[in-house]
Amino acid sequence: MQVILANEPDRLSEVTGHQLAFLERVGVPYTVASDDVVAIPADDMVIDALVGYSLSGVPRGAAAALIREANGTAAPVLSLDSPSGVDTATDEVYEPAIEATESLTLALPKVGLRAAEASRR
């Protein structure tokens, strides 16, 4: 297992930083992607947890590069909560957006995932 971050650890939100600290304690390795150099290992599955309910506008930088890389892999993609690049409060699907094989929503259903364009993600 490998975790690829779209931001440096000191730029993560409090919740995401807490989750990263847990992964560090159990020995899960991670790397930080740059805006233009991204490589997703050819493993069995990609788990998308890049951008969740805090999405505000089009994914940029390393997050956008990771989305494009994940969409180009043959591995199945599981999105946690919603595919990165899909606004969970509206029907807007940004470019780029994850083309998830499946999505596992957490807590409550996301209104934006019911829209026709989002349902194809």
What are the domain boundaries of the chain?
Answer: 35-119
Q: What is the pLDDT of residue 112?
A: 64
Q: What does the mean pLDDT of the chain come to?
A: 84
Domain 35-119 has CATH 1.10.10.60: no
Q: What is the pLDDT of residue 95?
A: 94
Query: Given 3-state DSSP classes, what are the helix, strand and coil percentages for the chain, each rounded to the nearest 5?
Result: 30, 15, 55
Confidence of residue 121 (pLDDT cuts 50, 70, 90): low
Summarize pLDDT for 36-94 with one digit per residue, the tens.
666 777 767 999 998 865 667 899 999 999 999 999 988 899 999 889 998 877 778 89
Q: Is 40 exposed, middle or buried (0-12, 13-18, 19+ CB in 10 A)?
A: middle
What's the pTM value of the predicted model, to 2 decimals?
0.82
